Structures are given as C-alpha cells and as structure tokens.
Amino acid sequence: MQIETIRLKNFKVFQSLELTGLPGLAVFVGANGTGKSTLFDVFAFLSEALQGNVTSALAKRGGFKEVKSRMSTGNIEIELQFRLEITGKERLVTYLLEIGEFKNRPIIEKEILRYKRGRYGSPYQFLHFSRGAGYAVTNEEDFNK
Ligand SMILES: Nc1ncnc2c1ncn2[C@@H]1O[C@H](COP(=O)(O)OP(=O)(O)OP(=O)(O)O)[C@@H](O)[C@H]1O
Ligand SMILES: [Mg+2]
C-alpha cells in the first residue's frame, strides 16, 4: 500500500494541510514544533481509532479540544488516498474521517471509504457512516451484484 495524499483539517498544529503526490519514500524536515511528530501521529491516531475507538484515541491525546486546532471552530478531518490492490487491480482508495463534537462528546460526522470500480464513472462508496448510521458494502469484490 502506498499513500499518495494526506489531507488534514484542524488536526493539532495542522489547521489545513494537503500533501499530494507523495513518493514511495518521503523525508520530512522542519524546525522544532512545526509538526513532524504530529504528521506521524495521524497514523497512530487512525490505528488506535480503528482498532479501538475514536473516543479513546482522542482521550489519549487529551481529548477532542486538545487535538482540534486551537482557535479553530471546525471539525477534525483526516483524509488519506492510497494505492491498494483489490480483486487483482491496483486502485486508488480514499478514506475520510471527520470528527466533530456533540453534547461535549466526540461524534463521527463522516466516515467514508471509496474507490473506482471500473476505469470510468465516479468513485463508489463502500462505506459511509454519519452520526451512528450508514452502510458498509460487504460483497465489494463482487462488482456485478
Ligand atoms: N491543538 C493544537 N492546536 C494548535 N497547535 C498545537 C495543538 N497541539 C499541539 N500544537 C502545537 O504543535 C507543535 C508540536 O508539533 P510537533 O511536536 O509535531 O513538532 P515537531 O516538528 O515534531 O518538533 P520537534 O522537532 O521538536 O520534534 C507545538 O508547537 C504545539 O504547540
Ligand atoms: Mg517531533
């Protein structure tokens, strides 16, 4: 799996970040406090959120208000685009997670997994959840059904 794009909104020091066309090997250089560790924490955060849950992944980092960019009012958004072989074909997959707050508790505003099934057409959403409701396609490899 190769990550090609990372988009962040309101994730700690990154109020708005877009890294596109990432190569197979990327090196990040920057002064102290510019967000190198924060960028890599995105992967730890997602891993913990997906294996456990978003609330505990946030709690480990001080809670929603500590993770959300200071002085910002928007939701936390993490979007990754990566190439992955699915049913024998390499596909460009997009995963998007948007976290908001509702009644002082974190809530998933949006969780989407999508990729193009064929060469043409718009990307198909295999998973789409918002505020506890949505769908996940389980026979995604059987495109004809
Ligand atoms: N919620 C937040 N909103 C805005 N900025 C934040 C937030 N949380 C942390 N920061 C800032 O992010 C910066 C820390 O970034 P990070 O630790 O990723 O930098 P770094 O490049 O790894 O630095 P170093 O070279 O010292 O390891 C600090 O300046 C900190 O104040
Ligand atoms: Mg660091």
The domains of the chain are located at 2-24+34-136
- pTM, two decimals, is 0.94
Q: Is 6 exposed, middle or buried (0-12, 13-18, 19+ CB in 10 A)?
A: buried
Is the CB of residue 141 less than 8 Å from the CB of residue 87?
yes
Find the ligand nearest to 34 CA: 1
The predicted-structure confidence for 27-66, as pLDDT tens digits, reads as follows: 999 999 999 999 999 999 999 999 999 999 999 999 999 9
The tokens describing 84, both together, are 């992955």
pLDDT: which is higher, 1 or 101: 101
Average pLDDT, the chain: 93
- 2-24+34-136 CATH fold: Rossmann fold (3.40.50)
**What is the rounded (10 degree) CA torsion for 11, 15, 18, 19?**
-60
Look up residue 124 and give its DSSP letter.
Answer: E
Pocket test for ligand 1, best of 13, 16, 32, 67 (most atoms within 8 A of CB): 13
Our answer on whether the CB atom of 38 is closer than 6 Å to any ligand 1 atom is yes
Tell me the CA–centroid distance for residue 47 and ligand 2, in Å: 19
Our answer on whether the CB atom of 30 is closer than 6 Å to any ligand 1 atom is yes
